[in-house]
Amino acid sequence: MRTTIIITLIVLVLAIFSMLSRADVHYVSLSGTNNSPYLNWPDAATNIQWAVDASTAGDTVMVSNGTYYLTNQVNISKAITLKGFNGRAVTILDGKATYGCLSLIGTSANATIDSLTIQRGYSAGAQAGGIFVSAAAVLVTNCVISNCVALLHGGGILMRDGAGGIITHSIIANNRNPSTGGGLGGGIAFVNYNGQIKNCIIAENRAYGVQTVDRGLGGAAFYNSKSWIANCLFYRNDSATHGGGMGFSTMGAGTASVDNCTFVGNTTSNLGGGLYISNFNVSVRNSIMWDNTAASCPDAYSTTAKLTNCCIKDTNGVVNWNTAGNITNDPLFVNAGADNYRFTTNSPCFNTGLNQDWMTGAVDLDGIQRITDGTVDMGCYEYPYWRPKYYLWAKP
């Protein structure tokens, strides 16, 4: 009898604990009735901030279809998930070219941003136009960040003063940084921040002000940031100073890594149309730099980086150019004129990369298994390229 009572009490305690610790879902819908705490679709909030405020750490704020025109920046200060219910194509946060879209500050804001389009964000201050992260480890996944503007750093995304943030399976396109006084990153900027960018398309972003030395960096910029960039495509980004596609500047001890990325059609008015590296210890592996444009050193400029198993058209700007698997042969893209930077089976980039431990279980930009024929390919795509799982190719 006593044993039965003890078991019953344990079951009750566990049930109560489960109820108390259960994560809630708070709903947002343009047709909601604003019945707080918004725990079902009929009671949904019509304002995203209201649902965020009603949530606690571990909860999910689920946003239904529609375009949500912001009247203020959405501020997240807790570890929640903000997610589009039916995906990024139909769930849109629009800053109306007036407001920054999302701000996440402090370690308590280690949130996940999932399956949203974030567009037309604007910041005249020290935050990004699209997503601003400070001292938090935020995961941005399956998102589109487009047509955002910041007057200082990171037109699309700015992560600063921390570590651990990840941007993955996302498109960052058509963002701008018109700073005239040392701004960083038309698309993405990491400033004193160690994070990761994986399986993303970074395209047609621009840093077009008259920048100071080592600033600009059109597609993505890394300032004192020991970060990892893998399986990403950088095309048609532009910088008025250096690093049309991507650039690194100013770092102390430690290294950054660029693995299996493709830089093509990027431009700059100065050094390094595709890739620019200054005073920075960067390992560049299995990457393609082709048909970029600059006043000098069109494909890459670096005084410090080591290139291994890379395909590069113009090596003049790479001081430490070596023969460790590097080639200067045409990668033979399927159709560069149509922005299809996969390559054909007779490409010299096929099966000529350097296998690495991180590739086990990893996928390329299309969702194809990263190593399919014993040796990894160069660039962001693995051949063969049919039947992609994620297929990020479509522009926003």
Position 280 scores a pLDDT of 77
Q: What is the dihedral of CA 138, 267, 259, 148, to 10 degrees?
A: 10
* Region of poorest pLDDT, from 130-134, 189-193, 201-205, 320-324: 320-324
pLDDT > 70? residue 15: no
Q: Can you tell me the mean pLDDT for 23-47?
A: 97
Residue 313 placed within a domain = no
- Domain range holding 240? 20-300
Residue 370 placed within a domain = no
CA distances to 22, 119, 233 from 98, rounded to whole Å, are 37, 11, 29
CA distance 281 to 251: 8
pLDDT > 50? residue 20: no
How, if at all, do strands 333-335 and 340-343 pair?
antiparallel
Whether residue 384 is preceded by a cis peptide bond, meaning omega within 30 degrees of 0, is yes
CATH of the domain at 64: 2.160.20.10
pLDDT digits (tens, 9 = 90+) for 353-367: 999 999 999 999 999
Structurally, the chain folds into a number of domains equal to 1
Residue 306 placed within a domain = no
Query: Is the model more confident about 271 or about 115?
Result: 115
pLDDT digits (tens, 9 = 90+) for 204-217: 999 876 545 555 57
pLDDT > 50? residue 16: no
pLDDT > 50? residue 101: yes
The model's confidence at residue 197, banded by pLDDT at 50, 70 and 90, is very high
The model's confidence at residue 139, banded by pLDDT at 50, 70 and 90, is very high
Residue 221 placed within a domain = yes
* Region of poorest pLDDT, from 4-18, 130-144, 157-171, 301-315: 4-18
Q: For residue 35, how many other CB atoms are within 10 A of its CB?
A: 12
Residue 396 placed within a domain = no
Q: Counting every residue, how long is the chain?
A: 396
Residue 138 placed within a domain = yes
Whether residue 37 is preceded by a cis peptide bond, meaning omega within 30 degrees of 0, is yes
Instruction: Quote the pTM value.
Output: 0.91
* Region of poorest pLDDT, from 226-240, 248-262, 279-293: 248-262
Residue 145 placed within a domain = yes
Strand order in the sheet with 66-69: 66-69, 91-94, 117-119, 144-146, 171-173, 201-203, 233-235, 262-264, 288-290, 311-312
Residue 314 placed within a domain = no
